[in-house]
Amino acid sequence: MYNFVDVHTHLELPEFDHDREAVIKRAFDSNISFLCTVGIEPKFWKIAKEIAERYEKIYFSVGLHPHEAKIYNKKIEEELISYLKHQKCLMLGEIGLDFYKNYSPREKQIEVFIKQLELAEKLQKDVIIHIRDAHKEAKEILKNKSLGGIIHCFSGDLQDAKDYIKMGFYISIPGTITYKNAETLKEVVKNIPLDFILTETDAPFLTPNPLRGKRNEPAFVKYTTEFIAKIKGLSIEDTARTIYVNTMKVFNLPFEYNSKYVYKIRNALYLNLTNRCTNKCVFCGKQKDFFVKGHYLKLEHEPSIDEIIEELPQDLSTYDEIVFCGYGEPTLRLKLIYELSKELRNRKAKKIRLNTDGLANIREKRNIVPELSNYIDSISISLNACDEETYNRICHPSLNGAFQSLIDFIKESKKHIKEVTVSAVAIPDLDMEKIKKFAERELGVKFRERPYDELG
């Protein structure tokens, strides 16, 4: 079952007065598992609070929208503080800058934005921020604040998105992503990690296609999720699961998750054999957490063959491939790979692939590739550099002579394994074209560039 989320909606507005309960029921019937209704000015704060109090899966936030900055005063600030102390009020917002409509003077917007940010810092609340035609000014203000939260209804470009993510914010995508003229937003979604993307409706506004023209409501967030999945080349299930985890993280809410031995991304099954590795790569996701596309891969113990088999579907013929991968180096459990491969064949696996750091030979003190080729159809090897100095700087191997052993392993794999691909993570200061040429021309194997800070 999908866990759709709407991190920013306005159920408290008059547009929902005549059928609010029916709208909420449709949301839950559509597998919405989290809603945040956002009070934008004092006359709506009480309604937002009351809605959140009535429904377990609905939370609220309060703030003074930039359109209303001109009415900000001490009394409103005191009222705002009282709502922010409510247990279901998760953030301060929406606040921000809107230099497109300028319903409040720009100077007043900036003043009130800063005041509310300072209030958020004082109360240790993250923020939901509205920015339109004011990203330069907003970033200048935010860079001096120790806050995180959500950039709501994102309207900036790719560099803006990267800047906000670096500051600790998540990028919230509305139904406008489905519009024909939303090329900049589509480019943003394509090029930032899914781990920093959220979904929202901003209902009753910004209805997504194919329902554009109707009043928007939380149940329609599935169209936005589907569109993001298409851009990312993922399944809806992958996308919804990851965004749900993102949502729980950004709102600091508890949620249930269990370690996975077998997990699905797109139409492939991945087998998580170990969290151990002899390298400590600078880009390794374990430095952040153990989630990959919403799957939790930290192992309480290394699984036995029986524990893995228990999680395997009986018929594997429907999957494009079965991959030894996980959050560690699979060849540290070489015997288990061999035993499992036999079982995978028995269950009609179309293709068996191994993701590896290519250091098995130096660890095992022998050439394992000929025997390994009996158990796998394809191998993906992490190259990451075309010289030893760069490799050591990026991968921090614990084994002396690791880089040369890696190169020898690639050459041996080419002799014995049908499909060999090497990869490198696109770290900002790395010459990817140079590594690609080294892989294709000198090693004679396929090359794949892996995006930086995007796993799975």
pLDDT value of residue 80 = 98
Q: Give the pair of three-digit tokens for residue 376.
A: 């796998």
pLDDT value of residue 166 = 95
Distance (Å, whole) CA 427 – CA 431 = 9
- Give the domain ranges of the chain: 4-250, 262-450
Q: Tell whether the model's pLDDT for residue 137 goes beyond 80.
A: yes
**pLDDT tens digits, residue range 399-416?**
999 999 999 999 999 999
How much is the average pLDDT of 321-341?
96
- Residue range 262-450 forms a domain whose CATH class is alpha beta
Whether the full predicted model's pTM is greater than 0.75, yes or no, is yes
**pLDDT tens digits, residue range 140-190?**
999 999 999 999 999 999 999 999 999 999 999 999 999 999 999 999 999
pLDDT value of residue 456 = 84
Q: Tell whether the model's pLDDT for residue 455 goes beyond 90.
A: no
Domains 4-250 and 262-450 share a fold: yes
Distance (Å, whole) CA 137 – CA 91 = 22
**pLDDT tens digits, residue range 209-238?**
999 999 999 999 999 999 999 999 999 999
**pLDDT tens digits, residue range 260-308?**
999 999 999 999 999 999 999 998 888 788 999 999 999 999 999 999 9
**pLDDT tens digits, residue range 379-390?**
999 999 999 999
Q: Tell whether the model's pLDDT for residue 1 goes beyond 80.
A: no
**CATH H-level, domain 4-250: superfamily:** Metal-dependent hydrolases (3.20.20.140)
